[in-house]
Chains A and B, each alone.
Chain A
Amino acid sequence: MTTDLEPKTDKTQSAPAELETREMMLNIGPAHPAMHGIIRIVAKLDGEKIQSAEVEIGYLHRAFEKMAETVDYNGVIPYTDRLNYCSPVINNMGYCMAVEKLLGIEVPERCHYVRVILSEISRISDHLTCVGASAMELGAFSVFLYMIKAREYLWELVEKVTGARLTVTYCRVGGVKADLPDDFAEPCAKAFEETRKVIDEVHGLLTRNRIFVDRMSGTGVISQEDAISYGITGPFLRSTGVEYDVRKDCPYAVYDRLPFDVPVGSRGDNMDRYLVRMEEMEQSMRIVEAALRDMPGGPVLVNPETGRAIPAAEMVDLAKVGNIAAISGACAKIGPTLEGSEKAVHASIAADEKRAFLPPKEDTYGNIEGLMHHFKLVMLGHGVRPPQGEVYFPVEGANGELGFYVVSDGSGSAYRVRVRPPCFAIMSALPKLLVGGMMADMVPTFGSVNMIGGELDR
Chain B
Amino acid sequence: MNTSLIELVKERFPTAASSSHTYRGDETVVLRRELLLEVARFLKEDPALQMNFLMDLTAVDYSTFGKSPSPAFFASSGVAVSPSSQIPDKDPWPGPPAEARFAVVYHFYSLKHKHRLRLVVPLNETDLEVDTLTSLWAGANWLEREVWDMFGIRFRGHPDLTRILMYEEFEGHPLRKDYPVNKRQPLIGPVN
Interface residues of A (CB under 8 A from B): 57-58, 61, 63, 65-67, 69-72, 75, 101-105, 226, 228-233, 242, 244, 249-250, 353, 355, 380-381, 385-392, 394, 401, 403, 405, 407, 409-413, 415-416, 418, 420, 424-425, 427-429, 432, 457-458
Q: Complex Cα distance A153/B165, Å?
A: 36
Cα–Cα distance between A57 and B165 once the two chains are bound (Å): 6
Q: List 13 A-B contacts (CB under 8 A).
A: A63-B174, A70-B181, A72-B71, A103-B87, A233-B53, A249-B114, A250-B114, A385-B86, A387-B85, A387-B88, A390-B26, A405-B58, A409-B68
A-B pairs, top 6 by smallest CB distance, nearest first, are: A231-B139, A70-B73, A410-B83, A387-B85, A389-B93, A428-B142
Expressed in whole angstroms, the Cα–Cα distance for A432 and B83 within the complex equals 47
B175 CB within 8 Å of chain A? yes
Which residues of chain A have C-beta atoms less than 8 A from B24's C-beta? Answer: 101-102, 104, 389, 391
Residue on A with the closest CB to B54? A231
Contacts of B66 in A (CB 8 A): 388, 409-411
Interface SS, B side: loop
Kindly list 10 other residue pairs between chains A and B, CB separation below 8 angstroms, not including A66-B174, A244-B111, A413-B71.
A69-B181, A72-B71, A228-B53, A229-B139, A385-B84, A387-B86, A388-B93, A410-B85, A418-B58, A428-B143
Assess whether A416 is in contact with B139, with CB atoms less than 8 Å apart.
no
Interface size range of chain B in the complex:
35 or more
* Cβ contacts B70-90/A at 8 Å (1 or 0 each): 111110010111011111110
Partner of B181, one of A67, A230, A424, A429: A67
What is the minimal beta-carbon distance from B138 to any residue of chain A, in angstroms?
A: 4
In the complex, what distance in Å separates the CA atom of A410 from the CA atom of B64?
A: 12
In the complex, A230 Cα to B143 Cα: how many Å? 10
B32 CB-CB contact with A under 8 Å: no
Most buried by A among B53, B111, B175: B53
Bound Cα distance A322, B60 (Å): 51
Q: What A residues does B116 contact at CB under 8 A?
A: 250, 392
B154 interface residue per 8 A CB criterion: no
List of A residues within 8 angstroms of B23 by Cβ: 389-391
B166-181 Cβ-contact flags toward A at 8 Å (1 or 0): 1100000011000101
Q: CA A285 – CA B28 in complex, angstroms?
A: 37
* B111 in complex: contacting residue of A230, A242, A355, A429, CB < 8 Å: A242
A403-B55, A409-B66 in contact; A61/B166 too (CB < 8 A)?
A: yes
B137: chain A residues at CB < 8 Å are 229-231
| Complex: chain A residue closest to B136, CB-CB | A229
B26 touches A392 (CB 8 A): yes
Cross-chain contact B93 with A418 (CB below 8 angstroms): no
Tell me if A66 and B181 are in contact (CB < 8 A). yes
Residue of A nearest to B71 (CB): A413
B181 touches A411 (CB 8 A): no
B138 touches A229 (CB 8 A): yes
Are A390 and B181 in touch, CB under 8 angstroms? no
Task: Tell me the complex Cα distance, A242–B52, Å.
Answer: 12
Q: Are B142 and A424 in contact (CB under 8 A)?
A: yes
Pair B26/A104 contact, Cβ less than 8 Å = no
Residues of B within 8 A of A401 (CB): 55
Task: Tell whether, in the assembled complex, residue A403 and residue B107 are in contact, meaning their CB atoms are under 8 Å apart.
Answer: yes
Question: A229–B138 Cα gap in the complex (Å)?
Answer: 5
The docked-state distance in angstroms from the alpha carbon of A424 to that of B146 is: 11
Residues of B within 8 A of A380 (CB): 71, 74, 77, 79, 81
CB nearest to B139 among chain A residues: A231
List of B residues within 8 angstroms of A407 by Cβ? 60
Cα distance, A249 to B186, chains bound together (Å): 46
Give the complex CA separation of A388 and B28 in angstroms.
15
Q: Which residues of B contact A403 (CB under 8 A)?
A: 55-56, 107
Interface centre among B26, B55, B139 (most CB of A within 10 A): B139
B141 near A: Cβ within 8 Å? Answer: yes
Residues of the A chain whose Cβ atoms lie less than 8 Å from the Cβ of B166:
58, 61
Q: How far is the CA of A61 from the CA of B146 in the complex (A)?
A: 12
A406 to B5, CA, bound (A): 22
B48 interface residue (CB < 8 Å to A):
no
Which of B71, B105, B175 has the most chain A CB within a 10 Å cutoff? Answer: B71
Q: Whole-angstrom distance from the CB of B170 to the nearest CB of chain A?
A: 10
Partner of B70, one of A63, A65, A355, A413: A413
Q: How far is the CA of A387 from the CA of B88 in the complex (A)?
A: 7
CA distance A29 to B38 in the complex (A): 40
CB pair A405–B105 under 8 Å, yes or no, is yes
Contacting pair B71 A428 (CB below 8 A): no
User: What residue of chain B has the Cβ atom nearest to residue A410's Cβ?
Assistant: B83
- Interface: B13 (CB within 8 A): no
Considering the complex, which residues of chain B in the window 1-60 have a beta carbon less than 8 Å from any beta carbon of chain A?
23-24, 26, 28, 52-56, 58, 60
A104-B24, A411-B81, A418-B56 known; A226-B138 Cβ under 8 A: yes
A233–B52 Cα gap in the complex (Å)? 12
The answer to whether B139 and A428 have CB atoms under 8 Å apart is yes
